[in-house]
């Protein structure tokens, strides 16, 4: 077994996936383990389709709410099924939840997109994905490309670690469908967010980064801009900065 820690800082999640950003006073994603960390997967970013699925508008993905083997409005019926990698692929190919026949295993970036960094045990929004086992490794469709094709990647949702497991081992499955192609999904880091926030043609941690993180902590107006604008800035007031970040970085900063 090989393990690596998922890099899931709030800024990374925001820039890659365009998640809603807001200053949180509590982790309301069904996990009480923190009181000061911004949610990566706020419930408002998902639509419950009331057919066993939820849609994440910001990634274009539709997810099964329940781990494979579970059903019901709160995933309270049945037992989470543990499958080896091959049988996980078969389960996806034969699943017809909500009338769709194109369910599949997510790739790593897709599975990361529902990893909730404001909590752990499990590190997932338990309002949107109820009854997720506390210690739960979920398969992805991503085979180990470096050392052994007999292993595949997954995410351990107790802590948020990435892990490599032998494909003959049995683990949990959460299916996904739709979304963008793998290539365009991966490209969002480069295309989604222009970090030259003050518009002076340069990206500077002490100006653009300071503006962004002040806004993340709920500051507005001159509390954001004072001492944080770079030389030659073209976006110099909170209104312009807020509009730019909301339009280009997937945030939802209030006036």
Instruction: Report DSSP state, residue 44.
Output: G
- The whole-model pTM stands at 0.63
Domain boundaries, the chain: 2-190, 193-248
| Residue labelled with tokens 């899931």 | 8
For residue 45 the two structure tokens come to 């970013």
Task: Report pLDDT digits (tens) over 11-53.
Answer: 333 333 333 333 334 566 665 555 556 678 888 889 999 999 9
Candidates 85, 75, 88; CA nearest to 132 is 75
Task: Report pLDDT digits (tens) over 126-160.
Answer: 899 999 988 889 999 998 877 788 999 999 998 88
Q: What is the gyration radius of the CA atoms in the chain, in angstroms?
A: 20
Element of type H or E holding 150: none
| Residue labelled with tokens 């500051």 | 219
Q: What whole-number distance in Å separates Cα of residue 250 and Cα of residue 19? A: 6
Assess whether pLDDT exceeds 80 at residue 207: yes
Under CATH, to which class is 2-190 assigned? Answer: alpha beta
Element of type H or E holding 92: helix 85-94
Q: What whole-number distance in Å separates Cα of residue 140 and Cα of residue 134? A: 18
- Sheet of 176-178, strands arranged across: 46-48, 53-56, 61-64, 176-178
């Amino acid at each position: 077994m090989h393990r690596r820690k998922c890099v899931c800082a709030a800024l990374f999640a925001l820039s890659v996936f365009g998640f809603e950003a807001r200053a949180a006073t509590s982790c309301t994603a069904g996990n009480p383990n923190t009181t000061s960390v911004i949610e990566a997967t706020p419930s408002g970013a998902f639509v419950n389709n009331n057919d066993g699925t939820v849609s994440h508008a910001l990634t274009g993905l539709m997810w099964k709410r329940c781990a494979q083997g579970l059903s019901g409005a709160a995933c309270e019926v049945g037992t989470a099924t543990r499958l080896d990698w091959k049988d996980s692929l078969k389960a996806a190919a034969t699943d017809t939840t909500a009338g769709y026949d194109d369910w599949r295993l997510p790739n790593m970036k897709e599975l990361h997109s529902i990893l909730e960094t404001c909590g752990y045990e499990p590190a997932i929004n338990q309002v949107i994905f109820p009854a997720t086992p506390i210690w739960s490794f979920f398969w992805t469709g991503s085979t180990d490309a470096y050392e052994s094709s007999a292993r595949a990647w997954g995410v351990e949702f107790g802590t948020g670690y990435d892990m490599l497991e032998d494909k003959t081992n049995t683990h949990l499955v959460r299916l996904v469908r739709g979304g963008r192609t793998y290539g365009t999904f991966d490209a969002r880091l480069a295309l989604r967010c222009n970090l030259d926030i003050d518009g002076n043609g340069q990206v500077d941690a002490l100006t653009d980064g300071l503006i962004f993180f002040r806004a993340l902590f709920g500051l507005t107006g001159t509390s954001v801009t004072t001492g944080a604008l770079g030389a030659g800035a073209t976006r110099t007031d909170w209104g312009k900065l807020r509009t730019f970040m909301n339009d280009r970085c997937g945030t939802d900063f209030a006036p």
